[in-house]
Amino acid sequence: MSTTEENKAVYWGTGRRKSSIARVRLIPGTGEIKVNKKEGNLYFNQIADYIQVIKAPLEKLGLDKEYDILVNAHGGGLTGQADAVKLGVARALCELNPENRPTLKAEGYLTRDPRAKERKKYGLHKARKAPQYSKR
């Protein structure tokens, strides 16, 4: 935990997903979301599912209207970034109060999704797509 100029408590969490990285700050406030200094709805193109994913850990604990979420996200696409923010928020909530950890762990919010794009192999068109086989 650190403090800002206004002496508000700031809780940090870092989340990763695919090639996205999100550094998340939780600050006592009204439930506002800002991603890369933009309104959350604008950044995620008015797609409510992304905002719902981000707020899920806070809603599980009933804190969705008590903290503002400030995010610095880069890399990957919107889905990867939204999931990275979710993990960052969950980790920040654990820093806020260690008693939150079992609840978040049970819901799977503290588990980093290890799935990533498989690399392309030589001799193949894509990671696993082989050229058409001809018997004769």
116: nearest Cα among 77, 71, 72: 77
2-107 to CATH, choices 3.30.230.10, 3.30.360.10, 3.40.50.300, 1.10.287.610: 3.30.230.10
pLDDT tens for each residue of 60-110: 999 989 999 999 999 999 999 999 999 999 999 999 999 999 999 999 999
User: What are the residue boundaries of the structural domains of the chain, listed by start?
Assistant: 2-107
Burial class (CB in 10 A: 0-12, 13-18, 19+), 111: exposed
Give pTM, 2 decimals: 0.89
